[in-house]
Amino acid sequence: MKARARCASRSFLGAAALLGSKTGYARDSLDIEVAPRVGIATSTTIGPAAENPLGVGVGGRAGASYREFYGGLVGMYYLGSTQAVGSGSASAHTVLSGIEVGYTLPVLALRIRPLIGIGNAWITASDASLEASKSNLYLEPGLAAFVPIGYLFAGGDLNALVFPNLTAPGASKSMAAVLLSFHAQVGFRF
């Protein structure tokens, strides 16, 4: 009887250890993550030609996780848009660079990471006669979800892209803007 009880308790503890383990991310280890990203950010219009400086974007992120806390660097280049203006054209694009912090929550095989980013957005607008750039602070609270697969991970994030004081290149007025951004990523962790 005692042997069966020991066997049952060991089986229970073994099953609990397997179910509670964090496949892919060890709690007490430092994990370095690197991932290229592609995504899209919703429209904001600037200037008289109403060109969108965001749209489709490419970039990447690199960071480290320790005990579920995450900190890293992020960069994105948004291709923007070009609009016909008279016999010429006007275009705009944006480069974002900043830092982000978050906390990773394991949910079965999925990892959910609420995060917030802060940084600088360089918006560049040009037409036939001039090119101007303007630096703007941005905040990017969001939620990332990814699945670790050995040394790889795949996932995406959905964010609010907040410009507290957005000023277009060459403009004197500023406005607050809240947009959405979504990025997909496949990366490596070490």
Residue 14: pLDDT band (50, 70, 90) is: very low
Q: Please check the confidence at residue 103 and state whether its pLDDT lies above 60.
A: yes
Residue 43: CATH number of its domain: 2.40.160.20
Report the share of the chain in percent with pLDDT over 70: 81
- Does residue 145 lie within any of the structural domains? yes
Name the residue with higher pLDDT: 83 or 122: 122
Q: Please check the confidence at residue 88 and state whether its pLDDT lies above 90.
A: no
d(C-alpha 82, C-alpha 45), whole Å: 12
- Does residue 16 lie within any of the structural domains? no
For the CA atoms of 46, 52, 58, 63, the dihedral, rounded to the nearest 10 degrees, stands at: 40
Name the residue with higher pLDDT: 85 or 104: 104
- Does residue 172 lie within any of the structural domains? yes
Name the residue with higher pLDDT: 26 or 181: 181
- Does residue 112 lie within any of the structural domains? yes
Interval 134-190: pLDDT, tens: 999 999 999 999 999 999 999 999 999 999 988 877 777 788 889 999 999 999 999
- Does residue 14 lie within any of the structural domains? no
Name the residue with higher pLDDT: 88 or 179: 179
Q: Which domain holds residue 94?
A: 25-189
- Does residue 32 lie within any of the structural domains? yes
If one counts the domains in the chain, the total is: 1
Q: What is the pTM of this model?
A: 0.80
Within 8 A by CB and 6+ apart from 56, the residues are 38, 39, 40, 78, 79
Residue burial 20-54, b: 16+ Cβ < 10 Å; e: rest:
eeeebbeeeeebebebebbbbbeebebbebebbbb
- Does residue 138 lie within any of the structural domains? yes
- Does residue 74 lie within any of the structural domains? yes
Q: What angle do CA 168, 170, 176 make, to 5 degrees?
A: 25
151 is written with which tokens? 């040394």
